[in-house]
Structure 1
Amino acid sequence: MELILKWGVFLCVFGVGGCQFLYNDYEKIPPLNQMDRFLQCREKENLFCLMQFTLRPKNTNSRVWQLIQKSKENPNAFNRDVVNRLRCFPRDLVKRKEELIGNATFRENSLLSNYSLNARLNTIDCKNYSEPKKLTTFDYSVLYSTLAWFGIIAAATLCDAVFRVGNFGEAWTYIKSLSLLSNWEDLRAPVKNEDYQRLKGLQGIRTYNMIIVILGHTVFNCLFSFTSDVGWIETFYRTGYRKFGLNFGLHIVQTNFVISAWVLSSNLYSYIEKNKKLSIKLILKWIFLRYLRLLPVLGFIVCWEMSNWPSIWIAGPPSERNDMDFRACQKNWWATLLLVNNYFLQSDMCNIGTWYLSNDFQMFLLAMILFYVMVNYKIGEEIILWTMGFFWLMHASLIYYNNYPVIFDFSPENSKVENSVGSNILCVLYSSFYSNFGGYGIGLIFGGLYHKYKNHTIKVNEVVTYSWLLVFFGLPISAVYLSLFEYPRLLSAILGATLKLVFSLGVAVGILGLSHGIGGVVKKICEWDYPVFLAKWAYSTYLVNFLIVFGRYLLIDELIPLNDEIMWKSIFSDIIQAFAAGLVVHLLIERPLSNVLRNLASQESTVKIKSR
């Protein structure tokens, strides 16, 4: 019986991970987070303050203090000597800061009297959330420009609906470009391009990858939230398969880099094969069109994040991360619009998620330069490998120099702003250009292999299929698994710079196999019409998913409850809302604005040709 009990405890803690400890000593110490009722405080027009306290013992030998010290020694627990409080105070204290601080400290010490502890105030940030916010000229410009644009879309749609078969010259081109009706028809129209049909599996993978990305963002948001269930968060980090899931989330972005580079490489090889050259003029044109594709939705979201409207319409309690994003947008909006914000700390990025766009666009630029050199100076594809090797060496050197782990280690303490988005480690290991170029380089290489061998027939049998499955799934799983452990300094540097390459290689082999008819059931799942269709607005979905996921807690009135059921409900809700909102943004912003900018660019080229 004793043996059975021991194995049961082992499986609960390390295998299943959903079991709770029978005795939770942390219930005997002060709660990590506490919050007064926000809406009630706002209605009374009082101050609502976000505060952080450090706890100090009256008796260092007390059981409470020993438990607090124990928490600091546990890497999977929060340091319980630092607590967070959201408190309501009378509004007349706003001009008497010393009295406010004294009031806050006295109140906290009164609540700690039974714990034999004292509190020292570290930080305090107070606001009267009932006071009207001052609006600027920029705020009104954003609002009226958005309303005007929606009015134009509505008028074009109405005109298109009334005159379905009309043709009024050049104006009609713009009307159809803006019409929701025509854009929806274009979106639904089947794509007959031969390469698109061969790579339908690639489109399906994009959608499944986006679902995993949204899932990951929801999980991270739960883990970083201001909750009463910190024990659930600590248990989450102690669980083996959940830890694997977190590290998988840090690798999954490589799939997007592989796909993006694959499509570019395939298109470039097709153009070069047909035209036997690659001019600087063409490269500049492709770069310009790429930027035009990214700019409309990105500019729309950044303008709204810079404005005061979100804080007026959604006047939630203090949020360190939301306030951080607003300050970053006020200061560094230009870096996001110019797609260079990946060179900033994530805490200084306007819209943190756009680091991926910056990396992708810069890799696009570098790839165009590499192909220009390859074609015009007769240098082989090995230049891509040399470039990958250079960035691999840079990444490995920085890991070794800073003594960083293989991958960013998510833990309760590392979820704090100063230890995650506010630190250099997340930039080096996750969002930097050099740490991600390997996956993009693999996409360039395999895009070339696809172009070269796409008309070759592979005899598909069980051996080929199982070997392909082993590489497709085995390499990414192996890369994530190896990232779970600690290694000596040199080995950490080597693995840290290599595991993303291994993950990307598995994805690239998987896509190549799908394009040649390998895969069986997996191929059918990847080429299923519904996910392939959803991939058509994946870009808009990616950008709006941050607003959906991280905006959920803007109107909280009390501490957020957390458990497995709540987390999974949030995941399913966020996935559905993100794709739905992405479709709306795609039809209202991305597609019509991209059409207009593309039409203007093509007209300018036509005018130049005629003038010659």
Structure 2
Amino acid sequence: MNIRAEIPFNATLGQHIVTKDRSFQGKYCRATFDPPRSLIESVLGDNINHTYGLPLTISLGMCMPDSCAGSDIEGLLNLGILGSLFNLTVAETVCTEDLDFKTDDNAHARNPGRPYSAGDSVVDHRTILSAEEERSTAEDDPNAENGSYDNAVETLTDNIKLKENGVGNKKGSKHGRLDLNVSVDSDLTENILDKSDDDDEGLVRKLLRSFSIFTNLPAVMSTEVKNFDISCLYGIRVITMTWIVLGNTYLYTAQSVAEVPVAADLMDSFDLMKRFTMQAVLSTAFATDTFFLISGCLIAYWFLAKDEMRVSKINVKTLLKFYAGKYWKLTPPYMLVMVMFVYLYTYLGDGPMWPNSIPVADACRKSWWKHLLYVNNLFGVDGVAPEDQCMAWSWYMAATMQFYLVSPILLSLMAFSTTMGCAVTGILAVAGVIAAGVKEAEIGGQILTSREDGGQYWNSVFTKPWCRISSYCVGLLLGLVLQRFYHKIINKYIAGLCWLLFTCVGVLLVYVPYTQHVDALADWSLPEQGAYEALARPVWAMCVGWVIYACATGYGGPVSDFLSWKGFVPLSRVTFLVYLIHPVLMVLAVYTRRTMLNLNDFQMAYQFVGHVVINYVAAIFAALVFDFPFRNLKRVVQRKTLNSPF
């Protein structure tokens, strides 16, 4: 149940005061009530048990003169009709106040002599009053979902360069294998073992050009591709990221802030999620598996194709370079986005729905070091709901880095013996399937129930690397096949049968959860949930893996032509940044609303298109400021020219 009203308090008088006294300022206030259970049951009836753990509250948004205090509003409402007829008392009153950036230590670089203390607050500008006593409360944030829809995306390959006689023409190279190079931007590796190519440009000039928009903007926006590129990866990356944005558009509206919902028809949203067509939206959790697949595929091919990575030449120095390349590529934009989100979000909006605090940002003040070490999905999360975790969607970066750490072991075995490497990788994939199935059968749950179970599914199944590694292993095996067996010619009828089979299986995986919502059918048992959780992800990875293989070896047809459209190329370069910042922008879009949103198809489609456009524009800007300058600095250290393509 959700009741909200925008009350223009004494609008005529307010206008007169503004005319006479320019110092007059209005402010937003919000009162939140905890309705008695009897009132909720009288309104919702049996539906009270189908709210996916969202607390049911009543909130009242008001525009008040600056002279009003939260205690005045609280007393007025407690004495009014809401209290006398409905037995409602104010649980909390929040009024926004003007911010002073100059005096806000939290928004500045802190003096080393003054460490951060528990008493420091990012909401000093708000007056928070309770019916019992003054207190501050953190409202729920929708980003619990974000690992799921999200969930998702790593800076993967921008292009995979195929030399002559490469994958595209199905002919083998003179070495009898695919002669493929991974570009600088591929899977964050940046060819860390390549020899440097000196030029005559001075060091100072290179450093200045590293941050120049004239250097970085052409690199971001270029649509240039090389002959024989596996260019379908551009389209797959962009479409997958767009899928994630679609899922989060719905979830952030339906499960926005528990105490201050933004959906006017919140109860209708639960029925909306049960529609057959909505399963394509709810299944965006598969997007993370798509990127795990691509990541494993690219690093496997790159590793196996590099002479420097042969078993006989691997040493500690080589491995340190191997890991340092990915860490340097991933970490700077990640940390910069975190810092800006944590310390500046209070200056980015206000309004009747603006929360007292945003837990997914404030939690970073204490747990930032876990993200710096990429262990934030392993430590300090048990018993913590996703919406209370620091940038909950960043679990994906941690899992990817953890997979990257174990990759040299598996790939060294592949380089030494194809059979042994495949066997060990297969065993690891099966172990991941078993781990996910057993844990899901034990606790049950899904993304939509994250609030009901306190984050058990999120923390124990969805974000744990041992439950998600199977898709990555499928990618490793795909990279091996592309590197060593691409030249095997497939009968066109068999290729057509594979397209039909994998398409049908993929559609089935997306829509079969609909059977959980059909009233005439029994709910899934825990073993059935465990089987789906365990098998669906690696099977989905196989379906997408076939698309990549078919497009790379000439069996893609019109699908390959579409995914290879040059318009996808610049967008694919910023998908990692879209993944990082789109939850932040969605939170701001949700919290700064002045009116409530109806969850109909047109409104959600309009929201979705807006989110896609705004987030890609913001990601391009972030690439120029956060991402590409650090790539260029690495090139300077390696004595590489800044004019070579990414």
Q: TM-score interval w.r.t. the shorter chain?
A: 0.7 to 0.9
- Matching residue within 408, 414, 422 for 1:368: 408
Q: Percent identity?
A: 16
State the distance in 2 between where 1:267 and 1:108 align.
70
State the distance in 2 between where 1:109 and 1:262 align.
61
Amino acid of the structure 2 residue aligned with 1:454: Y
- Report the CA distance between 1:492 and its aligned residue: 2.3
Contact 1:392–1:435 under 8 Å retained in 2: yes
- Matching residue within 441, 446, 451 for 2:478: 446
Listed as ranges, the matches of 1:115-514 within 5 Å are 117-119=86-88, 123-124=91-92, 126-130=94-98, 132=100, 135-137=103-105, 139-141=107-109, 168-187=201-220, 197-225=228-256, 226-242=262-278, 244-271=279-306, 275-277=310-312, 278-307=314-343, 309-319=344-354, 323-343=358-378, 344=381, 345=384, 346-372=386-412, 379-402=420-443, 404-405=444-445, 407-408=446-447, 410=448, 414=449, 418-419=451-452, 422-459=454-491, 461=492, 463-484=493-514, 485=516, 486-514=523-551
Contact 1:438–1:501 under 8 Å retained in 2: yes
> Structure 1 603/81 Cα, relative in aligned 2: closer, same or farther at 3 Å?
closer
Contact 1:50–1:86 under 8 Å retained in 2: yes
Cα offsets for 1:346-391 (capped at 9, x unmatched): 2343222211111111111122333346557994321112222223
Cα offsets for 1:156-183 (capped at 9, x unmatched): xxxxxxxxxx954222332333222222
Partner of 2:168: none
> Structure 1 321/251 Cα, relative in aligned 2: closer, same or farther at 3 Å?
farther
Partner of 2:643: none
Contact 1:356–1:431 under 8 Å retained in 2: yes
Amino acid of the structure 2 residue aligned with 1:124: E
* TM-score, with structure 2 as normaliser: 0.72
Partner of 1:145: none
- Report the CA distance between 1:500 and its aligned residue: 0.9
The Cα RMSD (Å) is 3.5
State the distance in 2 between where 1:363 and 1:108 align.
59
What secondary structure is seen at the aligned counterpart in 1 of 2:92? Answer: strand
Cα offsets for 1:501-559 (capped at 9, x unmatched): 11111111111111111121111111111113321222122222223323213322233
What secondary structure is seen at the aligned counterpart in 2 of 1:252? Answer: helix
Amino acid of the structure 2 residue aligned with 1:68: L
> Structure 1 469/37 Cα, relative in aligned 2: closer, same or farther at 3 Å?
farther
- Matching residue within 34, 58, 80 for 2:4: 34
Listed as ranges, the matches of 1:532-571 within 5 Å are 532-571=569-608
State the distance in 2 between where 1:139 and 1:493 align.
45
Contact 1:374–1:383 under 8 Å retained in 2: no
Amino acid of the structure 2 residue aligned with 1:353: W
What secondary structure is seen at the aligned counterpart in 1 of 2:29? Answer: strand
State the distance in 1 between where 2:244 and 2:351 align.
26
Cα offsets for 1:555-589 (capped at 9, x unmatched): 22233344322211111111112112111111222
Contact 1:108–1:119 under 8 Å retained in 2: no
Contact 2:5–2:61 under 8 Å retained in 1: yes
Cα offsets for 1:394-435 (capped at 9, x unmatched): 222222222x04x43x3xxx4xx8437x52222334333223
Cα offsets for 1:48-84 (capped at 9, x unmatched): 24524133548xxxxx9544323225x3799896434
What secondary structure is seen at the aligned counterpart in 1 of 2:264? Answer: coil
More RCO (CA 8 Å, sep 6+):
2
> Structure 1 325/273 Cα, relative in aligned 2: closer, same or farther at 3 Å?
closer
> Structure 1 135/456 Cα, relative in aligned 2: closer, same or farther at 3 Å?
farther
Amino acid of the structure 2 residue aligned with 1:385: G
State the distance in 2 between where 1:435 and 1:43 align.
57
More helix by share: 1
- Report the CA distance between 1:270 and its aligned residue: 0.7
Contact 2:3–2:59 under 8 Å retained in 1: yes
What secondary structure is seen at the aligned counterpart in 1 of 2:88? Answer: strand
> Structure 1 51/351 Cα, relative in aligned 2: closer, same or farther at 3 Å?
same
State the distance in 2 between where 1:328 and 1:181 align.
37
Cα offsets for 1:187-227 (capped at 9, x unmatched): 45566667xx4421122111111111112221212222412
Contact 2:245–2:612 under 8 Å retained in 1: yes
State the distance in 2 between where 1:232 and 1:487 align.
23
Amino acid of the structure 1 residue aligned with 2:46: K
State the distance in 2 between where 1:138 and 1:130 align.
16
Q: How many residues align?
A: 522
State the distance in 2 between where 1:208 and 1:389 align.
28
State the distance in 2 between where 1:328 and 1:65 align.
35
> Structure 1 183/312 Cα, relative in aligned 2: closer, same or farther at 3 Å?
closer
* TM-score, with structure 1 as normaliser: 0.76
> Structure 1 125/389 Cα, relative in aligned 2: closer, same or farther at 3 Å?
farther
Listed as ranges, the matches of 1:576-587 within 5 Å are 576-587=613-624
State the distance in 2 between where 1:349 and 1:208 align.
28
Partner of 1:51: 32
State the distance in 2 between where 1:77 and 1:469 align.
37
> Structure 1 396/190 Cα, relative in aligned 2: closer, same or farther at 3 Å?
same
State the distance in 1 between where 2:326 and 2:42 align.
58
State the distance in 2 between where 1:488 and 1:562 align.
30
Amino acid of the structure 1 residue aligned with 2:510: V
State the distance in 2 between where 1:138 and 1:102 align.
33
> Structure 1 56/440 Cα, relative in aligned 2: closer, same or farther at 3 Å?
closer
State the distance in 1 between where 2:369 and 2:388 align.
12
Cα offsets for 1:206-264 (capped at 9, x unmatched): 1111111112221212222412232542441232211x123321222211111111111
> Structure 1 271/65 Cα, relative in aligned 2: closer, same or farther at 3 Å?
closer
Listed as ranges, the matches of 1:522-537 within 5 Å are 522-537=559-574
> Structure 1 373/519 Cα, relative in aligned 2: closer, same or farther at 3 Å?
closer
Cα offsets for 1:447-471 (capped at 9, x unmatched): 1111112334445x3x234323224
What secondary structure is seen at the aligned counterpart in 2 of 1:126? Answer: strand
Q: Which sections of structure 1, spanning at least 5 residues, go unmatched?
A: 1-30, 59-63, 143-165, 605-612
Amino acid of the structure 1 residue aligned with 2:556: G
Partner of 1:158: none
Contact 2:53–2:451 under 8 Å retained in 1: no
1:520 aligns with 2:557: yes
